[in-house]
Amino acid sequence: MIDKDILQNFIKRSFAEDVGTGDITTISTVPQGTKITGKFIAKETGIICGLDIAKTVFDYTDSEIKLSFDFSDGDLVKKGDIIGEISGEAISVLTGERLALNLMQRLSGIATNTNEAVKKISDYKAKIVDTRKTTPGLRVFEKYAVKTGGGHNHRFNLADGILIKDNHIKAAGSIAKAVQGAKDNAPHTLKIEVEVESIDQMNEALDAGADIIMLDNMDNATMTKAVEINAGRAILEASGNMGEKDLQSVAKTGIDIISIGALTHSVKALDISLKFN
């Protein structure tokens, strides 16, 4: 569920970007009062996402447009499926079309990709989560698509999660100092996560009282060892080019979480089109 205001502001800004001073083609060629009906068609198979967002887009353009979908976010659509139908003033539909499609295609691409990852590790306890490697301005939408595809969300921004990375450790002086700083200064409502590159660093983080350990770019053997040593004390998160790894073998190590930047930084849009009848 995306915050109503964030969605409205996003649509307003995106329309301003796409429409400029006016949709000159549509205004010049289509008489006011022309009514149309049309269909949204899946040109590829995948997990659909962004249907409610598309409704809000068209409602924003013209509150009298009727739009009904035969699927819900998270459903599988197959190539050729009619996803839904639209009817209303032609000028309004034409003006809103591109933004709605751009969003549906991108979010469905993310959901589809996430879902493939989730299915691969369904026999293990590990969860697939996203990262902050999202497109600037689209974070809540892209994280929504990850959830729609069956994944989970890591922190939304720098304020709602503590993640001490290599550069923080260098700047703070040591893992111990960084964790102590977080304990002293950050709200008690946030868990403390530390990124480590070795078993030694993991031990240092556990001793300092980290709640979550991010195992950065470790091979599976090392992660298996990390799981044993941790013995359930902290949550363990595997990270580092996970988009290119064999996820099953990663999950098999027993880690709790696999975070994948590629879910949002390298997206292949799902092809969807709108055809007037």
Residues 85-114 interacting with a second copy (rule: CB under 8 A): 90-91, 93-95, 97-99, 102-103, 105-106, 109
The angle formed by the CA atoms of residues 11, 93 and 271, to the nearest 5 degrees, is 75
Given the residues 165, 191, 245, 252, the one annotated as active site: 165
Which residues 8-37 are close enough to bind a second copy by CB under 8 A? Answer: 10, 12-32, 34, 36
Shortest separation between residue 97's beta carbon and a second copy, angstroms: 7
Which residues 36-55 are close enough to bind a second copy by CB under 8 A? Answer: 36, 38
The DSSP 8-state label assigned to residue 152 in this structure reads B
Shortest separation between residue 30's beta carbon and a second copy, angstroms: 4
Total interface residues for a second copy by CB under 8 A = 102
- Residues contacting 99, CB < 8 A, separation 6+: 11, 14, 15, 18, 57
State the CB neighbour count (10 A cutoff) for residue 189.
Answer: 6
How big is the chain, counted in residues? 277
**Site map for a second copy, 196-235, x if CB under 8 A?**
----------------x----------------------x
**Site map for a second copy, 125-144, x if CB under 8 A?**
--x-x--xxxxxxxxx----
Instruction: Tell me the sheet residues that pair with 152.
Output: 129
245 included as an active-site residue: no
Task: Give yes or no for a contact between 243 and 225, defined as CB atoms under 8 angstroms apart.
Answer: no
Report which secondary-structure segment, H or E, holds 242.
none
Task: Give yes or no for a contact between 48 and 75, defined as CB atoms under 8 angstroms apart.
Answer: yes
Cα distances (angstroms) measured from residue 146 to each of 70, 72, 106, 175, 257: 21, 15, 11, 31, 14
Phi, psi for 44 (deg, rounded to 5) = -145, 165
Among 188, 221, 231, 232, binds a second copy (CB under 8 A): 188
For position 176 contacting a second copy by CB under 8 A, the verdict is no
By beta-carbon proximity to a second copy, the closer residue of 44 and 75 is: 44
What is the distance of C-alpha 142 from the center of its chain?
Answer: 3
For position 79 contacting a second copy by CB under 8 A, the verdict is no
Which residues 248-267 are close enough to bind a second copy by CB under 8 A? Answer: 256-257, 262, 265-267
Among 52, 87, 124, 153, binds a second copy (CB under 8 A): 153
244 included as an active-site residue: no
271 included as an active-site residue: no
The residues annotated as belonging to the active site are 98, 133, 165, 195, 216
